[in-house]
Amino acid sequence: MASSYIKDDQGGTFIPASQRPDGSWRKPRRVKDGYVPQEEVPLYESLGKQFQKNKLSYPVGMSAEYVAEHKAKVEAEQKRTIPGMVIVAETKKKKKKSKNNSTNALAENLAKTMISDVTNNVASKKTNDPSVQKPVNNSNKITTNSQPSNSSRIDTTSLLSDSMKRLKNLRKKIREIEQLESKIKSGDLKNPDKEILEKIAKKKDILDQIKLLESNQ
């Protein structure tokens, strides 16, 4: 929008006073003839920008009417096609197949249950029928009678093994005590501590335990 100018009696050109947004006033300003305000100067555009601005949005030689008609045709076809129609059909097929599989599995389980019930009824009738003699299982008696002897053998073997281990440990302690006594006599161990003396004092009890274990073997 072009600014209005005023001229005085002497022919000078002025921009008239104007009010600012805050309510204050601008003073009249003297300008030269042909002056164009900055806000009215057209923006500079390079040749490349002007080319892009004026460039057609469709190939050279093709009319704008043809482009608009083709675009409308494509949009109409897209509207006629229902999105997800194939996916819905496939989903229905999968659900139907899953339902059939579940029905077949249920029928199979029901058939197995019926066969099992019939088998159990037949077995129950045979058991309650007095004409059917129940064979005597002698193997159970033999196994039952042989169990005490087997358990007693296991207990005896375990006791012997424990006594042998105990005897071995006691003999080891006696050897250690005799080594300590030898060091004290030779003077290698001049001041034995309390723990060593207590260990040597147990020698008699350990020997008695060894004799008892040896007599029971």
Kindly report, residue by residue over 82-120, the tens digit of the pLDDT. 555 554 545 566 666 666 666 667 667 766 776 666 566
Look at residue 209 and tell me if it is in a domain.
Answer: yes
Residue 148 in any domain: the answer is no
Q: Is 205 inside a domain boundary? A: yes
Above 70 in pLDDT, residue 67? Answer: yes
- Position 194 in a domain: yes
What is the structure's pLDDT at 201? 92
**58 vs 73 pLDDT, higher one:** 73
Count of domains for the chain:
1
Within a domain: 48: no
> What is the reported pLDDT for 172?
93
The DSSP bridge partners found for residue 6 are: 14
Residue 176's pLDDT band (cuts 50, 70, 90): very high
Range of the domain at 180: 157-216
The answer to whether position 198 is within a domain reads yes
User: For residue range 124-152, what is the model confidence (pLDDT) as tens digits?
Assistant: 655 655 555 555 555 544 444 445 555 55
Structural domain includes residue 82 = no
Is the model's pLDDT at 11 over the cut of 80?
A: no
Residue 169 lies in a domain: yes
What pLDDT does residue 147 have?
53
The Cα-based distances of 177 to 201, 208, 212 in angstroms read: 9, 15, 19
